A and B are shown apart, each in its own frame.
Chain A
Amino acid sequence: MIDWLYVIAIITIWLSTVMTIVTLSGGIIFIFKHMRHTDIDNLSPLKRYPKVTLVVPAHNEELVIQDTVKAILNLNYPKDRVELLVYADNCNDKTADRVRELMMMPVYINNNFRVIERTGTGGKAGVLNDALKISTGEYLGVYDADAAPEKNALYFLVEKILEDPERYAAAFGRNKTRNYQQNFLSRCINLEIVNTQRIQHTGLWQLFKIGRIPGTNFIINKKIVQSIGGWNNGALTEDTAISFSLMREGKLIALAHRAEAFQQEPETLFAYYNQRKRWARGNYEVILDNMKHLFDKTPWRIKLEVGYYLCTFFWFNAAIIISNVIFLINIGLGGARVIFPQLHQLVSLGAPLSILFMVNWLLMFFLYLLQMNIALASDYGQATVTNFFYTLISYFTYAQLFVVVSIVAIYDMLRDKLTGQKHTKWYKTQRF
C-alpha cells in the first residue's frame, strides 16, 4: 500500500513538472514575441475611446485610497470618456472624506468622479453589482483601493479589447508589488507575483488563449456582464467566479501585458495567511462548482481550467503532502533504528533509484530557479542578485507555506459543508 502511494506520488510529481514546463515554454514564447520596445511617450491614438466606468471598492481604506484615486485621475485617457465611482463600502473610517478632499482640489475639478457611501451586503461583488446598475460606461473597470494604475494602464486595456471586441469580453493587466522591499515576506510575495504575471498568465494566454480576471486592473464589457447576471454576491473570489462564467459563454479574457498597476501586498504572516486562505477557499468552491462541466458540452477552455485547478489544488498538493510525510517518517524511522535496529523504513530505495530521485529533485529545484529567474529577467529592475538569493531561499520557506494554507482551506471548506454553517470569517487584508 505504502509502496503504491509512494510510486503514485512520484508519477504525480512528474506530471506536475510537465505542466510547469508546458506553461513555462508558453511564457518564454510570449516573452520573445513581445520583447520589442514600446515608446510609451509616443503612443498612437486608439481607433476609438469607449467610455469606461472605473470602480474602486473600498472598505476602510483611508490609508491608501488617495494614492489610488490620484493615479486613476491621472490616467492617460480622455477625461470625458472616464467615469470614476469610489464606493466607501461599510466604512467606519475616513475613506469617503479622503476622496472628498481630492474632489475639492482644483486640479481634479473637471474629472467625472464621485464617492458613494454604501451600507449594503455582498462584499466586493455586491459593490460591483451596484456599480453595474448606475454606471454609464460601455466598459466597467475595477481597481482595488490599494492598486494604483500606471498612467497608460487603461489605454493598454482598451487597446487590447478593441483588437477583437466581439470575442474579448474582458482585458486584464499586470499587477506589481509596490512594497516589496519591506521585509522577507513581501520580497517572497513579489517573486510569486512576478512569476504568476510573467510566466503563468503569459504562458496560458500564449498557448491556450486562457486568461483569468484578477481582482484588480481589468476592464469588462458591461453588456456581457449584465447578460450573465453580474457578479456572484458574497463570493470569496468573485474574480475567479466571473472568469468561469465568461468562459462558459465562449468569451475570452485577454491579457494586456503592458497595462500595469502597483498594489500593496501583506507585510505580516497573519495578513498573508488570512488573505491566501480566503483565496484558496474561494477558488476551491468555484472549481468544485464547475467540476460538472468536465463532462458536458461547455467550451474546452473551461474543461482545461477546471482540470488545471483540480490537479494543482487537490491532486498535486496531495502528492506533495504524501511524499513529504513518507520522507519525514522514513527519516524518523532511520534515526530510531540506531536504538531499535529491528525497525524497518516505510519505503527503502535501492542505491541507483535513490541517486536517480536525488537527481530528479535537483532538476526540479533548478527548474524552479529557472522559472523564477526567467520571470525576473523579463521584468524591469527585478533581475538583481538580491532577488536571485531570495529565489533560492523561498523554495524551502515561502513556497512551502502554500501547502499549509491549502490544507487549512480544505479543512475549513469540508467543516462548513458537513456542519452546514459558515465558520470562516472574512478578514480584510491589512494595509500598511
Chain B
Amino acid sequence: MALGSFAWLFPVSLIVTIVFGIVVVVLSICWWVIFKKTIRCFNTEDKRHD
C-alpha cells in the first residue's frame, strides 16, 4: 500500500527536515561552546583544589 493520498507529506517532510537540520547545527555549536567553557572552568576548579 503506497502513501498515494498523502501527496503533501513529501514537501512538508522536506521543510521539517531542513528546519530540523538547521536547529541541530545550531545546537551542535552550543554544545561545543559549553564543552570548551566548562572544561576550562572545571580545570580551574581542579587547580584551585590541588
Contacts and interface: CB of A to CB of B under 8 A. Distances in A.
A350 B7 CA distance: 11
Nearest to A2: B1
Contact of B3 (A7, A24, A344): A7
Contacts of B3: 3, 6-7, 347-350, 353
Interface string A1-41: 01100110010001001000100100010011001010000
B42 A24 contact: no
Contact of A377 (B5, B10, B31, B45): B31
Contacts, number: 87
A35 B38 contact: yes
Q: Bin chain A's interface residue count.
A: 35 or more
B20 A17 contact: yes
A366 B31 CA distance: 12
Interface in A72-127: none
B42 to A, nearest CB: 5
Given A28-B34, A363-B24, A7 B9 contact: yes
Given A28-B27, A37-B41, A353-B9, A348 B2 contact: yes
A359 B1 contact: no
B20 to A, nearest CB: 5
SS of A interface (majority): helix
Contact of B10 (A2, A356, A366, A373): A356
Contacts of B10: 350, 352-353, 356
Given A31-B34, A37-B41, A3 B6 contact: yes
A400 B16 CA distance: 25
A288 interface: no
B35 A353 contact: no
Contacts of B42: 380-381
A383 interface: yes
Interface in B26-50: 27-28, 30-31, 34-35, 37-39, 41-42, 44-45
